[in-house]
Amino acid sequence: MAGKLNINVHSEVGELEGVILHTPGREVENMTPKNAERALYSDILNLSVAQKEYAQLRGVLEKVTKTFQVKDLLADVLKNEKVKDNLLLKICEREEKCNIIKHLNSLDTPELSRQLIEGVVEQKNTLTKYLNKERYSLRPLHNFFFTRDASMSVLDDVLIGRMANKVRDREAMIMETIFDFHEGFVTKTVNPINSPKFNQNVSIEGGDVLIARDDILCIGNGTRTTSQGIDFILERLLAQKEKRRHILIQELPHKPESFIHLDMVFTFLDVDKCMVYEPLILQTNRYQTIHITIEDGKVISIKEEENLLKSLQDLGMDLKPIFCGGTKDSWIQEREQWHSGANFFAVGPGKVIGYGRNTYTMDEMNKNGFDILKAKDVISGKVDPKTFKKYVIALEGSELPRGGGGARCMTMPIRRKQIKW
């Protein structure tokens, strides 16, 4: 990697200058219907189809920004013996598998990187192991292609996720090691588990953390990010004793599973537009929007707001909502939200990526000034996104959406140009 990249993300829509991806590999296929629920899936995926679809996301992003792969970054840091020893010890102690450290140390760095993600197959060399139905000593990281969750670029720092489910803990360990020790990145990591006030109720995942502006965070509170996790972020902001800052918290339903993160119902599209799942974000319901204001190291206000958009408007961000699933039929809205119809990823102001399968959502985007570009046309060079003022690049998606996430879920931005508000 030539030169060092300073981590810097002050908004959701600033022009993208670097993003971390993880192309799904055998870890996606290394599950069965019996263990799919444990892996946080409702069904098993077809890897060959998922990889073809993911290749569109990767190909589009390679056209517009620098991209980095988790597996390559991990292999880079594992070349440092001390870093490798510390990470393996941490993983094996956490997963109670210290008996396999010798095997892991025997692998070269690319293979070790692969196995830490795709899973370490159990060596059936004793009767107990032979009779054990578990195939893996270290289970595959089935969810790692959703790189958004295990680490979050927040301004100049990287917040390490405290995952809601133990099956994803290793993802956070790997990302923390990459950001702490990769020579290509300049940043500081912040990990909730290192806080003196840490307790087991703390969980924070990146799908719930949206940077509206450098002084405004929007955070979802639901099954993956707890109130205690949000209090940790609040604690960090209070300790900085900076200018006035705002945290807007949106409560989320615990069911169905398509509501696991805030970015499944709300994402930023431009400096003045956002995508919303209207029944939750704008309609009257029992899910609160709470506004915390802090200044000079103190909470000066905490109150309930009408909704997320009204709160942002009061803070000088007047956003026009575009409705996931269109405006006419609540059933269509519900169907398209289920397939990540609200989950868009911005590569610049008014320049976003999402699933083309959500046709009613795409129609709404088009009505609001976004040209619809096919991902395959962008990758082939048939269409040049630079010639369009506002656009949405439509990814093909039949298999990937079944994993439970969209373009924002699958991307971890590490640098954006700052917006002049």
Q: Is 85 helix (H, G, I), strand (E, B) or coil?
A: helix
For residue 144, the model assigns a pLDDT of: 94
146 in any annotated domain: yes
295 in any annotated domain: yes
421 in any annotated domain: no
CA gap 71, 23 in Å, rounded? 9
* Domain enclosing residue 383, as ranges: 5-415
Report how many domains make up the chain.
Answer: 1
CATH number of the domain residue 222 falls in: 3.75.10.10
Q: E strands of 44-169, at which residues?
A: 67-69, 120-121, 136-138, 151-154, 157-160
303 in any annotated domain: yes
For residue 241, the model assigns a pLDDT of: 79
CA gap 296, 244 in Å, rounded? 7
87 in any annotated domain: yes
Would you give the DSSP letter of residue 182?
Answer: -
CA-angle at 179, arms to 174 and 181, nearest 5°: 90
Would you give the DSSP letter of residue 147?
Answer: T
For residue 30, the model assigns a pLDDT of: 67
131 in any annotated domain: yes
Instruction: Residue 281: name the closest of 325, 250, 257, 327 by CA.
Output: 250
Tokens for 52, please give them.
Answer: 């073809």
CA gap 230, 203 in Å, rounded? 8
17 in any annotated domain: yes
179 in any annotated domain: yes
For residue 197, the model assigns a pLDDT of: 87
In order along its 421 residues, the chain shows pLDDT tens digits of 557 899 999 999 999 999 999 999 888 876 665 554 554 455 567 888 889 999 999 999 999 999 999 999 999 999 999 999 999 999 999 999 988 999 999 999 999 999 999 999 888 777 777 777 778 889 999 899 999 999 999 999 999 999 999 989 999 999 999 999 999 999 999 999 999 889 999 999 999 999 999 999 999 999 999 999 999 999 999 888 778 999 999 999 998 888 999 999 999 999 999 999 999 999 989 999 999 999 999 999 999 999 999 999 999 999 999 999 999 899 999 999 999 999 999 999 999 999 999 999 999 999 999 999 999 999 999 999 999 999 999 999 888 877 778 999 999 999 999 998 8
Q: E strands of 214-365, at which residues?
A: 216-221, 245-251, 266-270, 273-276, 289-295, 298-305, 320-323, 345-348, 351-355
